[in-house]
Amino acid sequence: MAENYDVIVLGSGPGGYVAAIRAAQLGLKTAIVERENLGGICLNWGCIPTKALLRSAEIFHYMQHAGDYGLAAEKISADIAAVVKRSRGVAKQLNQGVTHLMKKNKITVHMGEGKLTGKGKLSVTRDGKTEELTAKNIILATGARARDLPGTPADGKRVWTYRHAMTPPEMPSKLLVIGSGAIGIEFASFYNDMGADVTVVEMMDRIVPVEDADVSAFLEKALKKQGMTILTGAGVSDIKVSANGVKAKLKDKAGKETAAEFSHMIVAIGIVPNTENIGLKELGVAMDERGFLKTDEMCRTNVEGLWAIGDITAPPWLAHKASHEGVITAEAIAGKHPHAMDPRNIPGCTYCHPQIASVGLTEAKAKEAGYEVKVGMFPFIGNGKAIALGEAEGFTKTVFDAKTGELLGAHMVGAEVTEMIQGYTIGKTLETTEAELMHTVFPHPTISESMHESVLAAYGRALHI
């Protein structure tokens, strides 16, 4: 006899486990199916353990610059094995936390490979044994994996994906990073701070190309100042991998080719959705040409009772977007009529050094959309707290509709901006105009004052520059 539930969630990442919790809170009998680790890639091999690595690199950086703060530190060194061990410990702690949440919310966990076998039917296979589950509603949250470089698959030895880069067999001496999105830049920043000679190759004309052009330019200058080599509008060819390293030809934006050798290479050129072999084609589930599932504003697929969230659907491919979709889906199933999510109000954060964070339209995208804009920028060098922290590198930029005062976008680079962007995200969600932001009292001394000053600057009213 098949076990019957109100909701089955396939995948336990930040989308899946949150969907299961919310469904259980709403009184639905809920099960979750996971083939590897509760918490998915984010908690075990993505968002969280990478931040633990970056924290170690940040502290190591400050130790090396102790003299800047009137301090002295001698015989400074880094133990990459110990750094990785700490990161894995953080991941384990959070995995155990998700396990606790499943028990607390009385969610049944089925470990194994899940596959749709019919409408409202799902099989789970583990160690050669299969059990059948049924539910009126099934939520797909199977996530995605790193895209391999054509012709040069990751081997975990010399060619790495993000997963290999989190548990390196040794510290790279000379590292090539292909791709400058969030994942590529974060690992480039980590290994650069840890002492590796890092080269980043980006085929687009600027790094972190989804960000505002001013942020990209500022970050590139900052990373070069830290000793990183950045090649934009560039390509990599003739890659040869051996037991001793990686040889490749690097082509710059002028078309000039240079032969180079590296100890290791990280490939960060995007993701592939985990949609194979889970019964989607047999059910006729609609997908786009890249294999991502098509859904409506409530995360419904074209198959009745089948929902999809997170990295198997449309971008942005972010953990917090997946979690919010999980809540929307569970509430829609329970008949709560939730609000649809506006992609323009989803913040993005990259935890390099300096950090970058943004929400909404860039200045260029706003103009492309036909807006007449007012733009404000405020540099951290005009902020007392940033100077006191020794973190005066950065700025805040805001973009407004000149006609209505609507906040269209906000873009930040500098210390702790990933913690501050939520202020603008709330403002956008509440459809705030420049008037409310100008009348908001920001605490002093904080770096967040740069947010207020940026708004004032858009209207010619900045006080400290």
Strand partners for 7: 30, 137
What is the Cα gyration radius of the chain? 23
Q: Is residue 444 annotated as a catalytic residue, yes or no? A: yes
Out of 65, 444, 452, 464, the active site residue is: 444
Q: Are 148 and 154 in contact (CB under 8 A)?
A: yes
Cα–Cα dist 352/204, whole Å: 19
Beta bridge partners of 236: 250
Residue 145: CA atoms inside 13 Å, Cβ hemisphere, count? 10
Which of the residues are catalytic?
Answer: 444
